[in-house]
């Protein structure tokens, strides 16, 4: 038998799986939120309020959950359930399989602004309000939050929960640091170190605006490093943890 050796031979299945679950759900939620906004705001949206701000606000409020949904358990669930034994007895590298699945998740998350814009256009007739910077900011959030989930997914099926807790902790410490600085007090060394080590969730979560200069580089490199570390773990760390596990 000749063999199909393309590393992308399973990509269509990843796309189908994500389209039938996440993308469909994102569309339903986007239309639902746009409908609720129309209901409560009425014609005020079209006449006075800034629809672009509303879109960014809805996106900002849902993006974290959407990213956790797109990436949660990406590799960790297969390890926990033992599916990896059948999958990776086939000529397929785990890192390639999961990286493709992660990238498909990015494509799915990038459809959220599209669904929202479409819903706004249909319900309010106010134009798309989509900008390249909006998509770039969503992609940046996915790189950092989704990258962290992918990294933790190589060792635990509760990857999304770990990242959510880290995100929560990082945001609270960031707020504490800002408050102490405003009050002219010294920020404890432990908080400074923790904020340096933890993924820059706060810098990546601003929907519609990108950080600039060195901050942007820091966020991008941090995200890429997490994805690269996840790939390295998938290459070098065996998937099993016991004879039957």
Partner 1 sequence: MIRFEAAGKRYTSLVTRRTVTALEDVTLEMRSGEVFGIAGPNGAGKSTLISLLMGFLSPTAGRVSIAGLPPRAYIESHGVGYLTELVNLPPHWHVPDALDRMARLAGVPPAERGARVTDVIGRLGLGEHVTKRIKQLSKGNLQRVGLAQAMLGDAELVVLDEPTHGLDPVWTQRFRTIVTELRRPERIVLIASHNLDELDSLADRVAILDHGHLQRIVDHATDSPATAAAWRVTFEGTVDVATLLPGATPVPGRGGSWRLVATRADVSRALAVLLGQGAVLVECVPEQGRLASAFREAVGE
**Distance separating alpha carbons of residues 208 and 52, to the nearest angstrom:** 9
Tokens 């590393």 found at: 7
* Footprint (CB under 8 A) of partner 1, residues 55-84: 81-84
Q: Site for partner 1 (CB under 8 A): which residue of 43, 47, 86, 182?
A: 86
CB of 146 to partner 1, least distance (A): 22
Burial 199-212 (b: 16+ CB within 10 A, else e): bbbbbbbebbebbe
Does 13 help bind partner 1 (rule: CB under 8 A)? yes
Does 9 help bind partner 1 (rule: CB under 8 A)? yes
Is 41 or 155 the residue whose CB approaches partner 1 more closely?
155
Burial class (CB in 10 A: 0-12, 13-18, 19+), 177: middle
Tokens 């297969």 found at: 78
Is 39 or 90 the residue whose CB approaches partner 1 more closely?
90
Q: Site for partner 1 (CB under 8 A): which residue of 35, 87, 168, 217?
A: 87
* Footprint (CB under 8 A) of partner 1, residues 199-218: none
Does 152 help bind partner 1 (rule: CB under 8 A)? no
Nearest Cα neighbor of 204 from 167, 154, 153, 158 is 167
Does 10 help bind partner 1 (rule: CB under 8 A)? yes
**Distance separating alpha carbons of residues 218 and 201, to the nearest angstrom:** 11
* Footprint (CB under 8 A) of partner 1, residues 92-121: 92-93
Stretch that binds partner 1, among 8-16, 68-76, 195-203, 219-227 (CB under 8 A): 8-16
Stretch that binds partner 1, among 39-47, 57-65, 90-98, 143-151 (CB under 8 A): 90-98
CA angle 72, 215, 233 (to 5 degrees): 35
Query: What tokens were used for 59?
Result: 């996106």
CB of 6 to partner 1, least distance (A): 8
Does 90 help bind partner 1 (rule: CB under 8 A)? yes
Does 240 help bind partner 1 (rule: CB under 8 A)? yes
Is 86 or 197 the residue whose CB approaches partner 1 more closely?
86
Q: What is the DSSP string of 116-165?
A: HHHHHHHHH-------HHHHHHHHHHIIIIIHHHHHHHTT-TTHHHHHHH
**Distance separating alpha carbons of residues 132 and 209, to the nearest angstrom:** 10
Query: By the criterion CB under 8 A, which residues form the site for partner 1?
Result: 1-5, 9-10, 13, 81-93, 238-240, 242-244
């Amino acid at each position: 038998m000749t063999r199909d050796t393309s590393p992308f031979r399973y990509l269509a299945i990843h796309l189908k799986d994500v389209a039938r679950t996440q993308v469909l759900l994102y569309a339903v939620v986007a239309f639902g939120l746009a409908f609720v906004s129309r209901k409560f705001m009425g014609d005020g949206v079209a006449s006075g309020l800034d629809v672009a701000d509303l879109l960014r606000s809805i996106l900002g409020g849902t993006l974290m959950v959407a990213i956790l949904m797109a990436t949660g358990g990406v590799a960790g669930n297969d390890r926990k359930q033992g599916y990896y034994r059948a999958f990776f007895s086939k000529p397929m590298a785990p890192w390639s399989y999961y990286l493709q699945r992660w990238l498909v998740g990015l494509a799915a998350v990038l459809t959220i602004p599209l669904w929202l814009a479409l819903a706004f256009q249909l319900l309010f007739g106010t134009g798309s309000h989509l900008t390249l910077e909006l998509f770039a900011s969503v992609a940046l959030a996915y790189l950092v939050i989704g990258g962290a989930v992918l990294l933790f997914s190589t060792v635990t099926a509760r990857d999304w929960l770990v990242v959510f807790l880290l995100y929560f902790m990082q945001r609270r410490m960031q707020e504490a640091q800002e408050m102490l600085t405003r009050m002219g007090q010294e920020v404890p060394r432990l908080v400074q170190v923790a904020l340096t080590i933890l993924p820059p969730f706060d810098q990546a979560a601003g929907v519609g605006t990108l950080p600039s200069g060195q901050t942007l580089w820091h966020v991008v490199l941090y995200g890429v490093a997490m994805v690269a570390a996840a790939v390295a773990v998938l290459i070098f760390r065996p998937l099993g943890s016991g004879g039957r596990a």
